[in-house]
Each structure stands twice: as structure tokens, then as C-alpha cells.
Structure 1
């Protein structure tokens, strides 16, 4: 083994020191390229994560479809856009994957509950994998990525009733026939999710460390949601860029304004 390669045992020690709880529930978002050489590659990292959680723990990863123009198949649709670790994870023996283009995958005692059927039109509400992890008091681990990859922040936006719903569509199978499904989803540039770093660090609710060679952040799902809900209550557009900074946030501002206008007209 190369001297720079991190072993499964070393990763286990780093994860445990960071605060990964044996017997807990852990959602992982990872950029494998940032972790440096790891013994066993992505499978080695997944094995170390499972070691840290122990036999009573449940490991969860995003497993969303990369293509909204192709019908989703939980048994074959890749999720390369979520990174090589996530795309390796759902293919492994014993891992369960939700049957939804907004899929998550999980393995462990709570996997079936977390990956149970969830709605297409509210991808990250309470009745979704991230919502269930929140209700079960799970943790979130960011490996080599920031909060812009933290799907749990979208849960807080849904719980806050954010108004920047934008038109979306998916191709789903009904009785074997591909059909276009139209819906609206909270959507924008997620760059300002980075504000969670300051909020969680200030309250001591985020632990930082190194896993492999990557910066790692560990926190409770409930703490992410609580911090985000507090700020969304003060300013519902707190995660949007100011106008004319990026197209996605401009579209979200316009959607929010339309929603406010429609609500005002309905009440008059």
C-alpha cells in the first residue's frame, strides 16, 4: 500500500474521532477526489463508514437520477452526478434504494423505513428520506464538500414554506409507459447554503476534522434544520443571491414574487 494511502482502519479512527455515532443514522455527501488515495477505493470508504456506524447503524446516501428525460429505474439508473461514492453505494449487496427519481439509498436496520415510498412533487419534505433521517435524529456528514451539497437544507426550506417554486418535470413509468410528470419544486443556486457554516460553527453544532485528506463536517440533521428555519423565518430569501448575480436565483426571486402576488390577490 502506498504510504499516502489511507487504510480502512485509519478512516475508522478519523470518523470516530469526528463523532460518527455507533448505532446512529448517517447521511453522507462525499467528493471522493478530495479524500486522497484510499485503500479499496470508494468501497473502502463505504466499509470504513459502516465500521464507524457498527452493525446497528444505518448509512444513507443521495442516489438521484442524472437525467430527467429518462424514466427512473431503481435497479439500473445511475447517479454519477452524486459522485463515485454514491454511485458505488447503491449497487452494493444489501443496499436499498427508493423507487423515485429523487432517490436515496441506505443500508442498515432503518434502511427500509428511510427508503420507503416518497412523493415525486415534494422531493425533500418531511415525507422523504432526508425528512425521515431528521425525524430519527440522524447525523449529516460532508466529506470534501460544503453545505451546497447538503440536501437537508432543502428540508428546512420546505418546512418554512419557502415560495420560490419553479416548474419542473420528470419522466415516470405508468403501467410500463413513459409519461411526463409536471410539478413545482423549490429550486435555486445553492451556493448560499454555505451560510450554515458560520451559523453552526458559532453555536458549536458542527464538528470539523479531516477524513482521508479531505475537510469533513459532521452535524445533527435537526441542528441544520433548526439553524436554517430560524434564518428563513427572518428572511425567506436568505439563501438566494441578490438580483442579477445568477440566473437560477433570479428565477427563484421571480417565482417568489409571483407566489406572493397570487396569495395577495386571493386574499383581497
Structure 2
């Protein structure tokens, strides 16, 4: 069966009905495959998001590369494939502002520069990262066809709660015409237990859920997501890691980092 394509105006109406604030800041993580077809494809979805926000609103999407080895060129480097086609189309759009570093986000609207033009945040989602600035500006987070496992605000919560795990990572940047390696530790794991945020937000009645296109969307204030996660992590710092008995290699690596026994990880 062929699904009908939603018009841009219909999608904008769905977003408004969900609770997207006109004139607000909106951080979007999306899978176009989950919501398609939409008139105009991914560009049509971006048009609908902009229409729901209005001209005073600011739309933000992740735009990092996923490649810590290669040089980053804001005007040329493609977004990581796992961010989806919408994110990769968005940074190429006229008027969109993109970060100058490989942990990039892209934004369109009056607050775009203030959100994405940060110094290189290491680890990627520090309070002075684009995610942190969305939080500080009381922005909303829209998970469009994806769950909280894609929610970067929960990585911000981990750092604010000072979780004890951190995987050794490195990246390369250009400094003074030279390629320089920077080593850091990242609060990384499989992220599947980020789904716990659904329970916390629903229990407080602060997460809206509903249809957008042919998919399902979740919408909440970044401050609600982060606040509830920080409270939970302060009580149980390893809450987002699978139990060792569950056999999750990524979470096992994160647990091992607390004991400083991760060989050959950099």
C-alpha cells in the first residue's frame, strides 16, 4: 500500500498541536524514514518545522561528522550518516549557521549563532556545547521518529551529574597550520537505557506524544529532560549502563573505564 504524502502545512499543524512553541528554540533529532512521505521530502519537513516555529523561532539539529580523524570544514563536510538525511540537508540550507568544529550542530533563526558558535566541546555535550545552550535558553527537544536513545540532552545530564564513566577518545584539529591530536574522555555507552526518560517524563506529564507525518513524535523541554535525568543519576550514577549480566559490550566498556582498565581504546 502506498502511503499518501502529508502536505507541509499539515505537518506544521501537527507540530503545533504537539506543542512546538512559536518563537521558541527547538532541537530536533529525526528519522525521515519513520515519518515519510512528506511533500517536498526532507526539505518539506524542514519547511514545516520552520513554519511551526515562525520567524522568531530557532531550529537546531545535530551536524557532527562522526569522523574524529579527518579535518572538519563547516561549509563542506557531510553530517554523519546516522544523523539521517534531514540533518544533512539542513546544514546546507541557505541561512543556516553551523559550528566551526567536528562536534557540530546547525541552526537557523535569531539565536542560531549564540547556540552553535561554541568552542570545541570535549566531551561533546558539555554545558557550554550547543546542547547546553539549548538547555540554558529553555528550548524544547523534539524526537521525531526516534526515541530518547538519540537524545543528546541526556548526555548533557550525565556530565552535569558527574557520572563516573568515561571512555578514552581522541580527535584531530588544525592549530597553527598543524594537525594536532587531542585526547579526552567521553561519557559513551549503548544509550538504549536512555529510554528510561520516557517513564520519568510521562509520570510528570511533561512529555507530549503524538503523530507527525506517518511517525510518532515526543516533545519535552530540555530542562525537564535534563533535570529529571540528573536527579536519577545522582541517586544511581550508573543507571544508564546495562547490568554486566546483560552482555552489552558498550556498557561493559563504560563500566571498565571506572576501574581504568580499558586497553587499546584510543
Q: TM-score, normalised by structure 1?
A: 0.93
The answer as to whether partners of 2:139 and 2:221 remain within 8 angstroms in 1 is yes
The answer as to whether partners of 2:3 and 2:37 remain within 8 angstroms in 1 is no
Distance change in 2, residues 1:3/1:165 (3 Å): closer
Unaligned segments of structure 2, at least 5 residues: 262-266
| Map of 2:33 onto structure 1 | 33
What does 1:1-268 align with in structure 2 at a 5 Å threshold? 4-79=4-79, 80-244=81-245, 245-258=247-260
Distance between the aligned counterparts of 1:183 and 1:78, measured in 2? 23
Distance between the aligned counterparts of 2:177 and 2:65, measured in 1? 18
User: What is the CA-CA distance between 1:171 and the residue it aligns to?
Assistant: 1.8
Distance between the aligned counterparts of 1:258 and 1:67, measured in 2? 25
The answer as to whether partners of 1:72 and 1:171 remain within 8 angstroms in 2 is no
Moved over 3 A (4+): none
User: What is the CA-CA distance between 1:119 and the residue it aligns to?
Assistant: 3.0
Distance between the aligned counterparts of 1:138 and 1:13, measured in 2? 19
Count of aligned positions: 258
Q: TM-score, normalised by structure 2?
A: 0.94
Distance between the aligned counterparts of 1:87 and 1:176, measured in 2? 28
User: What is the CA-CA distance between 1:3 and the residue it aligns to?
Assistant: 7.0
Distance between the aligned counterparts of 1:147 and 1:246, measured in 2? 18
Unaligned segments of structure 1, at least 5 residues: 260-268
CA RMSD of aligned residues (A): 1.4
Distance between the aligned counterparts of 2:3 and 2:27, measured in 1? 30
Query: Per the alignment, in what secondary structure is the counterpart of residue 219 of structure 2?
Result: strand
Distance between the aligned counterparts of 2:5 and 2:236, measured in 1? 45
